[in-house]
Chain A
Amino acid sequence: GQQVMQIPQYQHVQEGEDFTTYCNSSTTLSNIQWYKQRPGGHPVFLIQLVKSGEVKKQKRLTFQFGEAKKNSSLHITATQTTDVGTYFCAGSKYNFNKFYFGSGTKLNVKP
């Protein structure tokens, strides 16, 4: 079964609105990575979170790792049309060297 759940599946926003996608695991993760896949493209690494409660920012993107290391979120402030794509989280468990990808959140931004 799916190890890492991600919601929402789709999000349509007006340009300038904010966007958030959430990632949840039933078990504690050692770390989590976020990837972006543009339409017709391939997943591209955005960031990695390792520490409990960690928050990282990349310009308009804010990434958080929950205190229990079971959930994570990606928040985009004031979306732009260039933000269009599918955002995936990928969690890894302790002592395992593989990632479980979330189902992805497809973001559409209307100009």
Chain B
Amino acid sequence: DTAVSQTPKYLVTQMGNDKSIKCEQNLGHDTMYWYKQDSKKFLKIMFSYNNKELIINETVPNRFSPKSPDKAHLNLHINSLELGDSAVYFCASSQDNHNTDTQYFGPGTRLTVL
């Protein structure tokens, strides 16, 4: 069974479109994250939710809106996509939001904006 799953795995779209990426974890964790990994492999945290509540919101354009319908799901909606949004987006989860918790990453969604 996949612990952290994301859909879709690949996403190719035109500039200006709106798209969503979905994430689900079956580990019973309370905290979920979205990371962006650019072409240089930098991993940058974007958002973190703990029990459906937003706890980390880094300097991310407000075109990005996370939504957590329940603690097992954290979706990412992106409006008006731009070329610079092209990256691999990783969802992750951890038991809680303590800084000693291990993070479990999903397989990633490779977003290409044309």
Asked if A50 is at the interface of the complex by the 8 Å CB criterion, the answer is: yes
On whether A45 and B104 interact (CB within 8 A), knowing A31-B99, A101-B43, the answer reads: yes
Interface size on B, residues (CB 8 A): 21
Contact A101 B102 (CB under 8 A): no
A11-49 CB mask vs B (1 if < 8 Å, else 0) is 000000000000000000011010001000111110010
Q: Is the CB of B41 within 8 A of A99?
A: no
Residue of B40, B48, B106 near A42 (CB, 8 A) is B106
Number of A-B contacts (CB under 8 A): 56
Enumerate chain B residues within 8 angstroms of A37, measured Cβ to Cβ. 41
Residues on B with beta carbons closer than 8 Å to the beta carbon of A59: none
- The verdict on A86 contacting chain B, using a C-beta distance below 8 Å, is yes
Q: How many residues of A contact B (CB 8 A)?
A: 25
Name the B residues within 8 Å of A45 (CB-CB): 102-104
Task: List the B residue with the shortest CB-CB distance to A100.
Answer: B45
With A97-B55, A97-B56, A98-B56 as known contacts, state yes or no: A43 contacts B100, CB within 8 Å.
Answer: no
B50-71 at interface with A (beta carbon < 8 Å)? 55-56
Residue in contact with A43 in the complex, picked from B48, B90, B97, CB distance below 8 Å: B90
> Which positions in B face A, CB cutoff 8 Å?
40-45, 48, 55-56, 90, 97-100, 102-108
| Residues on A facing B (Cβ under 8 Å) | 2, 30-31, 33, 37, 41-45, 48, 50, 86, 88, 90, 92-93, 96-99, 101, 103-104, 106
